[in-house]
Structure 1
Amino acid sequence: MLISDYFARLDGPDPLSGLELVESDIEFLLALPGNEVSGRGLEDLASYISGRPAVGRKHRVLRSSRDGELEMVYGVVVEGPEEKPTGSFASAGVVSPGGKLARYQSFFHPTFSMFPEEAA
């Protein structure tokens, strides 16, 4: 799954390598508590990625699906060596004919989880 690979790169030693998986004119929306980040293009997405605090976070994908060009994943964000859950996310993306993300949206919530038993 492309989105899972994107998260693995964001969480890895070179977060900006995730940009290799998106189209140059990607459009995105990241809905965070009290804040929405949206943009278009590699420069906007790179700016967001570079501005994220380095807290040792990981996206742990719990469910994923694909229907045609649409990918969807659901999971939890964990932080630190003990992988303490900090919230859940639902992300969707449209994969271009070239095999890259063309449109992407992600919603994060710090307290609600679809699968509470898996978020702990």
Structure 2
Amino acid sequence: MTLRKRLVFAEKGENFLEFKREQLIGQIKKLYKDYLGYRKEFIAIYSKTLRKLYQTYKEMGKRNLTLISKLSKIQFTPTISIQYVKKIGIVVPEITYELKQEEKLPAYTFENTS
């Protein structure tokens, strides 16, 4: 009798594990599809930014571009938050970022003054 109960328990466990496996496969497929979409969007934005940077570099030259780059570093404060969320038994990092613009005047330096 106890062997029969153990067999039933093992079969229920097997069915439960099969169900969890199917859930995990579905979740992984969804996350991978989302990842591919985000990657495609990131590559498009990145290449567009590089083209604009190259155009600016051609028009302004290296020295002026470096000066603008130094000024823009002061204006934005990046904030990054990483939280780990458990989805169907898997811990997945959720990354949120924000660029906070501060209303400051650029730092005065003696660079480029005569």
Structure showing greater relative contact order (alpha-carbon pairs closer than 8 Å, 6 or more residues apart): 1
Instruction: Please give the TM-score of this superposition, normalised by the length of structure 2.
Output: 0.31
| More strand as a share of residues | 1
Mark the structure with the bigger radius of gyration: 2
| More helix as a share of residues | 2
